[in-house]
Amino acid sequence: MALEEFIDNLAKRIIGYVESSSDKSKKTITFRTAESRSKTTDLSLPLEGHGSQAVMDDIDEFLKQCVNTNRGEFMNPLWGGLNITAFAGEVISALTNQSMYTYELAPLATLIEQAIIMRMSEIIGFADGFGTLTTGGSNGNMLGMLCARQSILPSSSKTGFDGTKYVAYVSSEFHYSVLMSANVVGIGHQNVIKVACDEKGRMKSSSLQEEIDRSRANGLIPFCIIATSGTTVRGAFDPIGEIAAIAHDESIWLHVDAAWGGSSLFSSKKRDLMHGVELADSVCWDAHKMMGMPLICSAFIVKNERILSSVCSHGDVAHYLFHEENKDIDLGRYSLQCGRRNDALKLWLAWREIGDSGWAKMVEKYCGLADYLEQKIVEEPNLEMMSSREWTNVCFRYNDQSGHSDLNYLNAEIRDRLLKEGEILVSRSNIDEDVIIRSVISNPSVSAEILDRLIEKVKLHASEIISGIPPTN
């Protein structure tokens, strides 16, 4: 198949997939077990290739079976939807196939990434901030902890690190990546101290101070506090200003995990959710979440460039890559990765298209839709909110007013039937011991009409479960 024909055929499939996202007769997900898919889909890698037409057939099969994350009914994780401008940037990045470790190999891409980091630093309030694009919030949290370790023990990256006495503090509703980071940094899971939260799921600064005092009394060394701006389940924002005051008094590094909530900084109406973020030492912020960039696109921003440089220092042993004349601009000197794709172009193009004001309108639109869904839930006698809201996470459950139902079983089964039905995809989670249904609004295709259907679907499935009617799918 000639190049032009191949691209034409590919373009037809791309357009068809995008158009299918708004087709109400299509499903968001076709639920099948892994065993079933493995048995009915040819996944073998042949000794002799099948040719380019077979490639198109394989693409057709993949598109048929994948979850359609572009649909407005996709409200499960902290991302979703399609930004067509960012998609164009993704295509061009793959086409040009640059690696971001040196200016020599990615000249304009390097400058674009620097421009993005500079602008995000300004928005956060870091006058001389620096940073790097990363694989996501998990990587950003790890970099934050590594920088914290470097700040308290500069020799650790060269001479090694005995982390048995060093402790980090997180809210009890922290992201699980912190435990992975603790493993990599060298303190282990047991030295991650979970600080009590208030009724809204926010770290209590008074409890933080108590835990720090207790640690010091036990001979432990506090070196890092991780505040969360937008927790995964509730979307809660820790009080950064209060936490920063403690961090500064105690000389402890403060990292803010704003992977989910960082976009609030665009909106004058929502920015106060991250009040005090400028007092932090480092911040991670995922553009592939609420900003709608194709995965992956995430930033790690640090106030002190020297700290990040020290963490990522390689002693200039890669003489085949890094040279003295470009030492201040080669991005590979500030990244844990060597080979790294150009994730900056898609964000830069999208940002140039809509500007800060466009991001602000997007944030406020999503928050408005979350307000709408919350109000619908409050108005329904058999539905109840399971947490107060600050962001676009809406946590609720069906509450059988007869009192005869196991509410955890009931709500788990409602979500299971929604999943297998395949139209609307929301998540199942827990708040304390309660099973809840969580809808996350971060998709440009979400509408009030879709949210109305979600409510009606939940009520219908609940009624059928309570009545003993088996699922139809």
Query: What CA–CA distance (Å, rounded) separates 388 from 132?
Result: 34
The edge-to-edge listing of strands for the beta sheet with 192-195 is 130-134, 298-302, 282-286, 253-257, 221-228, 166-171, 192-195
Contacts of 180 (CB under 8 A, 6+ apart): 138, 142
Q: What is the CB neighbour count within 10 angstroms for residue 416?
A: 15
For the segment 154-176, the average pLDDT, to the nearest whole number, is 89
At 97, the amino acid letter reads: N
Give the type of residue at 26.
Answer: K
d(CA 363, CA 176): 25
Taking the C-alpha atoms of residue 373 and residue 448, their distance in angstroms, rounded to an integer, is: 8
- Mean pLDDT of all residues in 208-219: 97
Q: Which of 134, 136, 131 is nearest to 340 (CA)?
A: 134
pLDDT at 182: 87
Structure confidence at residue 203 as a pLDDT band (50, 70, 90):
very high
pLDDT tens-place string over residues 326-365: 667 777 776 777 778 999 999 999 999 999 999 999 999 9
> ω before 296 within 30° of 0 (cis)?
yes
Among the ranges given (53-62, 97-106, 406-415), the one the predictor scored with the smallest mean pLDDT: 97-106
Q: What is the pLDDT of residues 448-461, one digit of tens each?
A: 999 999 999 999 99
Report whether pLDDT(322) > 70.
no
Mean pLDDT for 377-397 is 96
Question: What is the per-residue pLDDT for 330?
Answer: 75
